Structure 1
Amino acid sequence: MKRTPKRAYEAELERLQVELVRMQQWITATGTRVVVIFEGRDAAGKGGAIKRIAQYLNPRTARVVALPTPSERERGQWYFQRYIERLPTSGEIVLMDRSWYNRAGVERVMDYCTAEEHARFLSQTPTFERMLIEDGILLIKYWFSVSDTEQEKRFRSRLEDPMRRWKLSDTDLLSITRWEEYSRAKDEMFAHTDTDESPWWTIESDDKRSSRLNTISHLLSLVPYEHVEPAPVQIPERPQAEGYNRPPRELQRHVPDHAGDLKKKRKKQD
């Protein structure tokens, strides 16, 4: 498969990220609440897309939610309860790296929930999401689709990369042997929760560059934002010094100059 050229990708990504900042300014100014759900198979590229979306957004009003395994207390709650606590307030956007749909995917396939709990989830979810939408929340759901060969390729690259080795869990590896079970679970999930008012949008993600551009472009098209002119900012002139004397640098504790050592080492090599 031919990938999107790097130069074209970087130029378009920069343009789209500028638009994301404008979108956030509108969300903040209007008090809009936005939830974007990112689901899909392991190694499908959800995290990379979220990273590029959030990269230049103001973290005060844009949050990434990636919940760990539920605690003992959370397991005793109504299933949706801990997700409700993470929903946005006025003027916020929440990006969910996996969501309540864990119950329809990994929990179903790995038998972390009962058949009754799974059936109840599929029954309740359309109603739950309808309540969010009726209350004014803009809910957007993305499913990242990756082929089996590309998924295995990404798993192997993680295995050999010390900075990404942590991303390869036992559950990830089991997704290889249970590929068809995950496919059936996803199909059943779509059959119950892909509704006209809360649809699933599928992202083909074998080419990560294309999937990121497609996701951001589509997200921008679904949020009815307008350009909000930021308040004018004037940088004041720095006042003249009035007798302040900085203490000697020798009295302070300084971080060792590791970068300086590298420069000296490089200079000797050259």
Structure 2
Amino acid sequence: MSKTSKKKSKKNKGPSLSREVYEAELFRLQAELVKLQQWTQATGTRVVVIFEGRDAAGKGGTIKRITQYLSPRIARIAALPTPTERERSEWYYQRYIAHLPAAGEIVLFDRSWYNRAGVEKVMGFCTPQEYQRFMRQTPVFEQMLIDDGILLRKYWFSVSDAEQLKRFRSRLSDPVRQWKLSPMDLESIHRWEDYSRAKDEMMVHTDVPESPWFVVESDSKKNARLNMIAHLLSTIPYVDVPHDKVELPDRPQASSSYVRPPRELANYVPDHVAQLLGDPENGF
């Protein structure tokens, strides 16, 4: 392990939160996100949030907590697959532009046009000329978005090599998260320093006053989620939008003319829970 890697692996996870404190603060922040959503819709604001960082840095988990109580019609996740042959022939930013928000929408980019500054650069998926063009054009492209009224926020999730390896190992034996581990992820272990250099170069060219990067220390997933969401909320001047109070009406009296069809005429799903409760090996 290099001196750089050793230093990186000693990153402080920060103070440890109890689950009760974490869940209470997360819920409070999620309630504020609902207010942000309502304000965004009421004012026609357009919000773009970019999530970048190494594999297993905690981007997806944070996005999941942000959108947990939001309407998918207002807050959308853009996680683009590998470009098609046609998309490779387009202007590089073109396929991302199609996912930008309309008035009253929030779009969270789970990786973004910065793929070119990271994986494409490190793995040789773009030419040196394409890479240099990206570095020149990106601040201009983002300034165009900002000038048009889009609120752009960029977050880099920073994880140590030791913590990343720990998370990779945990995925190997986890049946619901194995899909997150790909050959490309494993290749990133061997190219740690290459990715570090690529990130540093990206910051030099694209961390500008008009659209700065904000680094999220993410060795502690809980801390990273709370810190990132709190910061995002602090950068947007949203207010609590008044809305009409909703009152439940009284249920009307059942009509004597309605007769429910016999249950036998419908196809019900089997009672899986009853089977579980009836099996002594399950311990319920």
Question: Could you state the TM-score of these two structures normalised by the residue count of structure 2?
Answer: 0.93
One-letter amino acid of the structure 2 residue matched with residue 126 of structure 1: P
Structure 1 residue 269, shift from structure 2 partner: 5.5
- Give the equivalent residue in structure 1 for 2:49: 36
1:128 alignment partner, SS class? helix
Is 1:169 matched with 2:182?
Answer: yes
Structure 1 residue 241, shift from structure 2 partner: 2.1
In the alignment, the residues of structure 1 paired with residue 181 and residue 91 of structure 2 have an alpha-carbon distance, to the nearest angstrom, of 30
1:216 alignment partner, SS class? helix
Say whether the 8 Å CA contact 1:108–1:118 is kept in structure 2: yes
In the alignment, the residues of structure 2 paired with residue 160 and residue 237 of structure 1 have an alpha-carbon distance, to the nearest angstrom, of 52
Structure 1 residue 28, shift from structure 2 partner: 0.4
In the alignment, the residues of structure 2 paired with residue 67 and residue 232 of structure 1 have an alpha-carbon distance, to the nearest angstrom, of 39
Instruction: Identify which of 160, 163, 176 aligns with 1:147.
Output: 160
Is 1:106 matched with 2:119?
Answer: yes
- Give the equivalent residue in structure 2 for 1:59: 72
- Give the equivalent residue in structure 2 for 1:124: 137
One-letter amino acid of the structure 1 residue matched with residue 139 of structure 2: P
- Give the equivalent residue in structure 2 for 1:256: 270
Say whether the 8 Å CA contact 1:4–1:207 is kept in structure 2: no
Instruction: Identify which of 31, 35, 43 aligns with 1:22.
Output: 35
User: Number of residues paired by the alignment?
Assistant: 270
In the alignment, the residues of structure 1 paired with residue 66 and residue 266 of structure 2 have an alpha-carbon distance, to the nearest angstrom, of 40
Question: Could you state the TM-score of these two structures normalised by the residue count of structure 1?
Answer: 0.97
Say whether the 8 Å CA contact 2:56–2:167 is kept in structure 1: yes
In the alignment, the residues of structure 2 paired with residue 98 and residue 269 of structure 1 have an alpha-carbon distance, to the nearest angstrom, of 43
One-letter amino acid of the structure 2 residue matched with residue 42 of structure 1: D
Say whether the 8 Å CA contact 1:33–1:90 is kept in structure 2: yes
- Give the equivalent residue in structure 2 for 1:135: 148
One-letter amino acid of the structure 2 residue matched with residue 100 of structure 1: W
Instruction: Identify which of 243, 246, 261 aligns with 2:260.
Output: 246
In the alignment, the residues of structure 2 paired with residue 267 and residue 197 of structure 1 have an alpha-carbon distance, to the nearest angstrom, of 61
One-letter amino acid of the structure 2 residue matched with residue 233 of structure 1: V
One-letter amino acid of the structure 2 residue matched with residue 59 of structure 1: P
In the alignment, the residues of structure 2 paired with residue 76 and residue 124 of structure 1 have an alpha-carbon distance, to the nearest angstrom, of 17
In the alignment, the residues of structure 1 paired with residue 252 and residue 276 of structure 2 have an alpha-carbon distance, to the nearest angstrom, of 38
Say whether the 8 Å CA contact 2:39–2:241 is kept in structure 1: yes
Say whether the 8 Å CA contact 1:103–1:121 is kept in structure 2: yes
In structure 2, the CA distance between the partners of 1:268 and 1:201, relative to structure 1 (3 Å rule), is: closer
Q: What whole-Å deviation, never above 9, does each CA across 1:102-125 have from its counterpart, x for those lacking one?
A: 000000000000000000000000
Is 1:197 matched with 2:210?
Answer: yes
Structure 1 residue 239, shift from structure 2 partner: 1.8
1:42 alignment partner, SS class? coil
In structure 2, the CA distance between the partners of 1:5 and 1:185, relative to structure 1 (3 Å rule), is: same
Structure 2 residue runs without a partner (length 5+): 1-12
In the alignment, the residues of structure 1 paired with residue 216 and residue 21 of structure 2 have an alpha-carbon distance, to the nearest angstrom, of 19
One-letter amino acid of the structure 1 residue matched with residue 215 of structure 2: T
In structure 2, the CA distance between the partners of 1:268 and 1:110, relative to structure 1 (3 Å rule), is: closer
In the alignment, the residues of structure 2 paired with residue 143 and residue 196 of structure 1 have an alpha-carbon distance, to the nearest angstrom, of 16
1:56 alignment partner, SS class? coil
One-letter amino acid of the structure 2 residue matched with residue 167 of structure 1: K
In the alignment, the residues of structure 2 paired with residue 121 and residue 235 of structure 1 have an alpha-carbon distance, to the nearest angstrom, of 54
Identity of aligned residues (%): 66
Say whether the 8 Å CA contact 1:43–1:154 is kept in structure 2: yes
Q: How does 1:66-81 map to 2 (within 5 A)?
A: 66-81=79-94
Aligned-residue CA RMSD in angstroms?
Answer: 1.3
One-letter amino acid of the structure 2 residue matched with residue 238 of structure 1: R
